[in-house]
Amino acid sequence: MRVVEAGLYRVRMPLVHGFETSSHRKNEIEHVLVRLRDADGHVGWGEIASPSAPYFGAETTDTCWIIASSVLLPALVGSEWESPAGAASAWRRVRGNRFAIAGVDAAVWALHADATGTSLAHALGGSQSEVVAGVSLGIEPTIDALLAQVQRHVDDGYPRVKLKIAPGWDVEPVRAVRAAFPDLDLHVDANGAFAPVADAFAVFAELDRDGLTMIEQPFAPDHLLAHAELQRRIDTPVCLDESVETVDQFRTALHLGAVRVLNIKVSRMGGLTAARAAHDLAVDAGVPVWCGGMHEFGIGRAANLAIASLPGFVLPSDVSGSDKYYARDVTTAPILATAGRVGVPAGRGLGVEVDEAFIADAANDHLEFGVAGVGSAAEVAVA
């Protein structure tokens, strides 16, 4: 297979409801969309779902745009490969920059699925036709506002709710939600906001009494020893997110006893190839996994559903309906949840129809790449 054309589109869309974590609040999302085309006209789309600011990790929309446009796509366009793993040789020398790589890797997988006449989920080895979805709720101005948000999503049929927490917004709001919804599958996510000190361990000891499914990423990414110590002190499973960017880091966390549940984010781990490898290791280790999200548009959401169809994804994933986030999506039809479940796209390739006209109109920046006969490999045309 040979990619002869590639495009990058920088698209910003407002959120239906603002979202606040322990680091910042966001009211709109800007992602970079990747389009690949091979010599036979097959197309694959991917989404670089990096945050705009360096609070979740080191990468931003700006850095991803630079790496994708100056390194990844110039190396990929014109290269020949037989499988998505072979395409990865185009960026094997690139260190880090996993969000940027993830969007290109997903586009490669979607292109491969389109060219072989199968769905992305099937190409990855997925076996589930639908995925149980959970929702992630940000920090609200008041506990009453939080309870209203939880009620709204419970009424919509979502069986699991994740609450963002931070120092000072922890035990009280969680306990209020648990009191109001005693049977709800509930877990919390700190995004590494707590320092591994006595006061923090006391907070998590309190939360350990609330019947949570898991406590996600309580400490900063490098604090694996602190996560292991916390897991020894509490019964609630510790789930890692930011701490695991590679399969080798996952192996280290397993060895230390720092992880009992893994949040597999395609973007954080550098794409579908790495996410599938992490899934396989987790299955071998007996660790349940679920698919985390980065407020993806419909393209990235379809890729998340495809990976979440693998058999080891046994916990509700952050693949809720796109209408929860966006009034208008980049696909011709939104991805929707019914009674807390989302169907895995079964169509050829990505499995959803991308609205290319809408993307072209909405993009605030656009780059095109080509090879001889389509355009010079060294040429980058700015639309």
What pLDDT, in 10s, does the model give residues 256-266?
Answer: 999 999 999 99
Regarding whether 193 and 110 lie in a shared domain, the answer is no
Q: How many domains does the chain have?
A: 2
Q: According to the model, what pLDDT value does residue 346 have?
A: 92
Determine, yes or no, domain membership for 188: yes
Regarding whether 265 and 235 lie in a shared domain, the answer is yes
- 234-273 residue pLDDT tens: 999 999 999 999 999 999 999 999 999 999 999 999 999 9
In which domain, by residue range, is 155 found?
123-343
Contact yes or no for 8/36 (Cβ under 8 A): no
Q: According to the model, what pLDDT value does residue 348 have?
A: 95
Q: How far apart are CA 94 and CA 369, in angstroms?
A: 20
* Chain CA centroid to CA 215, Å: 18
Tokens of 77: 């366009």
Determine, yes or no, domain membership for 43: yes
Contact yes or no for 315/290 (Cβ under 8 A): yes
Whether 324 sits among the annotated catalytic residues: the reply is: no
Regarding whether 377 and 360 lie in a shared domain, the answer is yes
Q: According to the model, what pLDDT value does residue 382 have?
A: 35
Q: According to the model, what pLDDT value does residue 19 have?
A: 61
Determine, yes or no, domain membership for 348: no
Whether 164 sits among the annotated catalytic residues: the reply is: yes
Q: According to the model, what pLDDT value does residue 22 have?
A: 52
Regarding whether 365 and 304 lie in a shared domain, the answer is no
Regarding whether 272 and 217 lie in a shared domain, the answer is yes
Residue whose C-alpha is closest to residue 288's, from 309, 257, 316? 316
Q: According to the model, what pLDDT value does residue 172 have?
A: 97
Q: What are phi and psi of 329, to 5 degrees?
A: -105, 175
Say whether 306 sits in a helix, a strand or coil: helix
Residue whose C-alpha is closest to residue 191's, from 336, 335, 6, 51? 51
Tokens of 353: 């129809």
Regarding whether 132 and 108 lie in a shared domain, the answer is no
CATH number of the domain that 263 lies in? 3.20.20.120
Regarding whether 185 and 334 lie in a shared domain, the answer is yes
Q: How far apart are CA 118 and CA 163, in angstroms?
A: 37
Regarding whether 163 and 305 lie in a shared domain, the answer is yes
Residue whose C-alpha is closest to residue 272's, from 44, 76, 40, 101? 101
Q: According to the model, what pLDDT value does residue 15 have?
A: 86
With a cut of 70, list the residues of the chain below it in pLDDT: 17-24, 26, 372-383
- pTM across the whole model: 0.90
